[in-house]
Structures are given as structure tokens and as C-alpha cells.
Amino acid sequence: MTALPGADPALIRAACLFGPLLATGAALLRRPPDRRTIAAAILATAWNAVWLPAVNLLAVDRAWWTFHVDGGSVAGLPLDLLLGWALLWGTLPVVAGADRIGLPLLAAGLAWFDLAAMPLAAPVVRLGPHWLAGEALAVALVLVPGLLLARWTVRDRRLALRAGAQMLLSGALMFAVPLGLVRPALPGGRVGWAIAGQLLAVPLLLGVVAVREFVQRGGGTPLPYDPPRRLVTSGPYVYVRNPMQLSVVLFYALLGLLTRDARVLAGAAAAFAYGAGLAAWHEGGRMRESYGAPWVAYRAGVPAWRPRLRPWPGSAPARLYVSESCGPCSQFGRWIARRRPVALVLVPAERHPRRLRRMTYETDDGAVRAEGIAALGRMLNHLHLGWAVLGWLLVVPGLRWFVQLCADAFGAGPRDIPQLPRTATR
């Protein structure tokens, strides 16, 4: 296929932007979206907005295709074409109700339309001999994952994958893109960045564990249109109300101090202003409306930005089952008791209804159950902020597996714990 004779580049760019934009507007007028549809549209569009530029930069580098535009571009990529592309692949299928169409058929239809439109976009887009390779990559890495993410959100499925995709998008939009534009310099070269990376991992850990708590305890995601079903008052939330926003602010503040870059410190201030505004809006409306008196009590007991040193006493209660018939285990149980854990009851593992083989942590509502090192990580959250940070490290999946392997190798592996007649455990 070839471009239309005498095609005007300005007309092509306008069609690529306003065609998807008008179609999206018509779909919204025909079918006003509910909250889940809005959430799905936001996520699918954000996915395309983040990864389409990456694929196009690679395409230009590999000469799969090139752009020839005058103005309205960043790094050689025309913003109007990218926005229209993101609407066509992200927003439009969601608001038009295309989730009722089989995913293979929908993906094939959108890919076919793109295959037909790309040659018609000349001279704005000039295709190389291997442009189909770039098209295949865009479909595999951008179109299909975006459609899946939207479909899972609309149907409220694959919660962990949805939350993971949101973390990936947040990392790209909040950290990778801004820092890529600013490119702060750190004294010491690679060694300096290696040390800084370890320091910066602490605030990032706070945000990651907070998202994990939303998924595991609340049954939702950080996106306001796809929120938890239950009030989350465990994990980092027993110390501070806004751990995700605090994570971003601390990251930029620490990086700004390390690099002595005023632009990065300005990013910390902007993140704080945005987080405080978003938190105030969210808390003043939806949180009070959704959770009522429990939210009022939680807000009164847990600061928004300055973490508590000890956990909030009103946090979700739990029990830790520690064996009394094992000498080292019973000593460890006494060590825990001396530190006066908050909202945690120690119970002999021998009195659990089922036969246990490791130290076990269970919340009273049954939402969380952890064994071994994972139980240790959960328990530490009930002691003190300093111990809680170590506990958050121990619930990171890869690290948890490694520490559990080491613990088993040094004699802290599973063992047969005898059961005793049940008595009151409270």
C-alpha cells in the first residue's frame, strides 16, 4: 500500500489524532462508563502511553520506520501520532465495550487496522523493509498486554497481575521518565550509584509493601477507581496513612540530597504537594463515605506523613503460633513477648486446630496466613518501626525464598509439632 497522492502531512497528523479522539468521544456519549470501566480505560491508555514510545524509539533505531515531522515531537517522536495510537489501542476498545469480543479477535482486528493505516501515514511515517518486525513487537508488548489489563480490570480478575502492572507503570511514570529527562549526576560514578541504590531501595520498599498490603488485605489496587474493598490497617499502614506517597517523596528527597540537584529536590516538593492534595481529596470524600467510623478512628490514630514508632493499637489483630516443645522456638517466643507486640497474641503451635510444621502467622479475619520466614516478617510489623522495615524485606518473594532456604540449611526447617487438646487461645 502507498500513501494517497498529494497527502498533506498536517492532514495526516490531524487524522491520526482526531480520528481516535472523536471515536472515543462518541463511544463515551453512547455508553457512559462506570467506575470499573474508567479504571480499565486509565490503565490501558497508560500502558500504551508508556510502552508505545519505547517501541517507537527502538523502531527508529532499527530503521523499521522513521518519522518526518516539523514540530510537536519529543526525541523525534510525534506526540499527536502517539496520543492517537494510545487512544486507539487503549481507551477506545474499553469505552466501546469491546471486552465482550473475544480477545484474539479484538487484537487481530486492531492489529489489522494498524497494518492498513501505517503505509497510508506516509510521508509522516516512512516504513523500512522490515517494518513488520516492529509491528509484531508493538502488538506483543503493547497492544495485547494493554487489552488484557483492561479486560481483567473490567471483570475484576487477576488482582495480583493488575497491581503488578500498576506498579510497573508507576515506576516508569514517576521515576524512570522524570529521572531520564533530568539525568542527575552522583559523585563516585558507578560506586556512588551502587551505594545510593541501596539507600534508595528503602523508600521504594515502603511503596512496594504498601501495594502488596492493598492486594492481600484489601482486595484492591492503588488506583482510586479500583480501590480495596476493605479498610487496610496492616503492614506499613499501622505506622503511616500514606505510605505510597511518602515512598515517592522520600525517594526524591534522598536522591536530591545525594546528587545535590535542585531539580530533584523540586521533584520531592512536587510529589509532596500532589500526594497531600490527592490524599486530602480522597480522605475527605471516598474514605469517610466507604468506611465510616473505622476510618475516623484510624485517621485519628495514624499520622498522614510522620510515621509512628510503635504500631497503631487498633490495627488488624493476629496470632502467632510458636512451638513450646522446641527449645529454640520457645526461647524465640519469649523474645517476642518481651518486646510487647501490638495487636498480636502468642499461641502455642501445639494448640492449633491443624498440625503445624513451622511457625505460623494468622490474622483473626483469616485474610492472611504465613509460615516460616514469611510469618517472621509479618510478626516483626507488630513490634516497632525499625523491626518492621526488616519484616518488609522478608516478605519480598525472592528474598523471602532465599532467607527461608538459608534458615532451613542452618536447622530452622520444618519439624513435626505434636498437637495438644484445644483450649482457649485468646
At CB < 8 A and 24+ separation, what contacts does 325-333 make?
A: 325/350, 325/417, 325/418, 326/415, 326/417, 328/412, 329/359, 332/359
- The answer for 412, left when phi > 0, alpha when psi is -120 to 50, beta otherwise, is alpha
Tens digit of pLDDT for each residue in 6-62?
Answer: 478 899 999 999 999 999 999 999 989 999 999 999 999 999 999 999 999 999 999
DSSP string, 7-21: --HHHHHHHHHHHHH
Percent of the chain with pLDDT over 90: 58
CA distance 382 to 320: 11
Amino acid at the residue 48:
N
**Segment (H or E) for 198:** helix 189-213
Query: What's the confidence (pLDDT) of residue 153?
Result: 94
Task: Give me the mean pLDDT over the 307-314 stretch.
Answer: 94
CA distance 229 to 262: 40
Q: How confident is the model at residue 279 (pLDDT cuts 50, 70, 90)?
A: low
Average pLDDT, the chain: 89
DSSP string, 258-277: HHT-HHHHHHHHHHHHHHHH
